[in-house]
Amino acid sequence: NAGVTQTPKFQVLKTGQSMTLQCAQDMNHNSMYWYRQDPGMGLRLIYYSASEGTTDKGEVPNGYNVSRLNKREFSLRLESAAPSQTSVYFCASSEWVAAFFGQGTRLTVV
């Protein structure tokens, strides 16, 4: 039982490049989330998916897109990376209890 798995763990992008962060959970949870955490800051919600087939914007959605591929997988795409998107990204999933987090992706945009 792996819980929530994110890939990659580290990534360096050049400004303007695109990439997709992958997230998968094996706990059969309906809700999944993408957060970003800047140094010394809290968790800011980018997008969330309440169930398979639905996605909604969170607090900071600009510059990102998401896909809820199936119940297990929820990906986050940066179409044209900007230095302001340098951050640690966490995926999480939840059901009727607390959210469980992936190990995070440390993204640097240069």
The answer to whether residues 89 and 105 touch, using CB atoms and an 8 Å cutoff, is yes
Q: Does 108 bind another protein (CB under 8 A)?
A: no
Q: What is the DSSP letter of 70?
A: S
Q: Does 31 bind another protein (CB under 8 A)?
A: yes
CB 91 to another protein: min, Å = 10
Q: Does 94 bind another protein (CB under 8 A)?
A: yes
Q: Does 71 bind another protein (CB under 8 A)?
A: no
Q: Does 103 bind another protein (CB under 8 A)?
A: yes
Residue with Cβ nearer another protein (17 or 88): 88
Of 16-24, 61-69, 74-82, 87-95: span binding another protein (CB under 8 A): 87-95
Q: Does 74 bind another protein (CB under 8 A)?
A: no
The rounded distance, in Å, linking the Cα atoms of 63 and 76 is: 10
**Pairing relationship of beta strands 10-13 and 105-109 according to DSSP bridges:** parallel
Q: Which residues of 71-102 are buried (b: 16+ CB within 10 A; e: fewer)?
A: bbbbbbebeebeeebbbebbbbbbeeeebebb
3-state secondary structure of 85: helix
Positions in the binding site for another protein (CB under 8 A): 30-31, 33, 35, 40-43, 45, 48, 50-51, 54, 90, 92, 94-104
